[in-house]
Every structure is written in C-alpha cells, then in structure tokens.
Amino acid sequence: MTKSHYSIGIDYGSESGRVLIINIKTGEIKGMHVIPYKHGVITESLPDNPRRIPIGSALQHPQDYLEVLEVGIPCAMAKAGIHSNQIIGLGVDFTSSTILPVDYDLTPLCFHKDWKYYHHAWPKLWKHHRTKVQTDKIYKAATKRKEIWLRKLGFNISEEWAIPKIYEVFEDARDVYEASAYFLEAADWIVSTLTSTLIRNNCSLGFKAFWNERDGFPEEFFNELDAEFGSTLLSKLHGNITMVYSM
C-alpha cells in the first residue's frame, strides 16, 4: 500500500504559532499543535529590561518563532502519527508586515548582547504603530512625484508596511540601522533560516516595500525622500526574490 504524503503548514499569528499536518491528496488535517508565544506581543518593556519602550510599539521575540518550529512540528507530527519521510512540503504564513533587522549571518540583531536593549533591534509586529511621521513623509513625497507604484497600491501607504518601519529605524536609531545587514519580513526570515539562503517573497515586497517585477524598487524615489536612506536601503533589501503561490 502506498503511503500518504503530507505537507506542514505553519500559521504564525500575533500571539501564537499553529502547526498543521495536511494530507495533500484529501486536504484532511491529520495533526495540529498550537504554541503560544512565551513573550507574546511586547508593548511595555523588553525582556530582562525594566525600562519602558515607546507607547505604540508592538514588538516580538524571534525565539518564539523558532520554538514553533522546534516544538510545534514534532508535536503535530506525533499527533498525526506519521514519519518524516512522508513530509514532502512546508508552507509558512505570517501576520504582515512584521519586520526584523538581522546581521549578515541572518541572526536577529536583538540576539546580540550589544543590541538586545535597543527596542529598534527587535521585530516590529504588523500592528506596531510608531511610524505615522515616516508614513506621512513617504506619502507626501510619492503623491508630489506622482509615483506610478503608488497608484498600484490604491494611492495608500500604511503605517503597518515595511518601508515606513525601516524608515523609522533610519530616522530614530541610525546606529541600529547601520548595524543591520538586512531588514527581513518575518516569513522570509523563517524560510531563509531553514534554507540557509537569503530569500524574499515577491508578495510582501510588492505590497509592503513598493517593489514590482517590471521596475524593481523605486530607487530614484528613495533617494529623493532622503539621499542617505536611498543610497543604503537597497542593500538592506537584498535577497533572492521568489514567487509565492496560493491554492
């Protein structure tokens, strides 16, 4: 009898990560396990640091994401009663846009002892609402220049997107910005960590970072917004851009 094959689906939410084991032929959920984040949403102070962070911050701990992989997957597979050789795929989704700065080895900056007490070195969750000033600057400059990419986004820029969050770090914590080799969507960080390859998905870049397949990033606009920001940003958005598929 031919063994059934399964795929792992990991849904990273705001408070927990849910691991599903799916029969790829029938769509049946064979096993599931939920891992609540130990650190939850960080809104008041960083771990092991009583000093308050700015109101409106919504940060997270990357170790919570890793625990979903390290604990959630084995538990879900045990509940499903299947072997690893029956797994033929893995899919990841995240609340977007959740952005984290990393070094050249893809290690989150907040894992380094020199940066762990800097709140800008931690992942900014989608609902991090400290970027209104930066969002307004970007929107004003884009409308003045009549940027084509702005039309593709419905003439809208959200505080929750990637570029405003990265621009916030640039303006408010230049030392953190300069120490960051890359700024990654959390979903891309998970995939990059699993594959040891710097990967970016085209969906997040297109909707949260003003990228499109034909024109790439609006480099001229970034330089117009701020010459130093524009001259350094693209290197921090570097990576292999891959297609995201949905069923």
66 inside domain: yes
pLDDT digits (tens, 9 = 90+) for 176-201: 999 999 999 999 999 999 999 999 99
Model pLDDT, residue 3: 78
The average confidence (pLDDT) of the chain is 95
How far out from the chain centre does Cα 227 lie?
A: 25
Indicate the length of the chain as a whole number. 247
Is the pLDDT assigned to residue 244 strictly greater than 80? Answer: no
Inside any domain, residue 247: no
Residue 36 falls inside a structural domain: yes
Asked, for residue 85, whether it belongs to a domain, the answer is yes
Structure confidence at residue 2 (pLDDT): 60
Give pLDDT, residue 243.
Answer: 79
pLDDT in tens, 15-66: 999 999 999 999 999 999 999 999 999 999 999 999 999 999 999 999 999 9
Q: How many CB atoms lie within 10 A of CB 219?
A: 13
Task: Record the pTM.
Answer: 0.95
Compute CA distances 161 → 109, 113, 126, 206, whole Å.
20, 28, 7, 11
Residue closest to 39 by CA, chosen among 53, 27, 25, 19: 53
Expressed as residue numbers, the domain containing 198 is 6-242
Residue 203 lies in a domain: yes
Which residues sit opposite 231 in a β-bridge? none
Contacts of residue 55, Cβ cutoff 8 Å, sequence gap at least 6: none
145: in domain: yes
Rounded average pLDDT over 230-243: 96
Instruction: Quote the number of domains for the chain.
Output: 1
Dump pLDDT digits (tens) for 58-105.
999 999 999 999 999 999 999 999 999 999 999 999 988 999 999 999
- CA-to-CA distance for 56 and 119, rounded, in angstroms? 12
Compute the distance between CA of residue 112 and CA of residue 67 in angstroms, rounded to an integer: 18
CATH number at 40 reads: 3.30.420.40
- pLDDT 10s digits, 141-168: 999 999 999 998 999 999 999 999 999 9
The answer to whether position 225 is within a domain reads yes
Is position 158 within any domain? Answer: yes
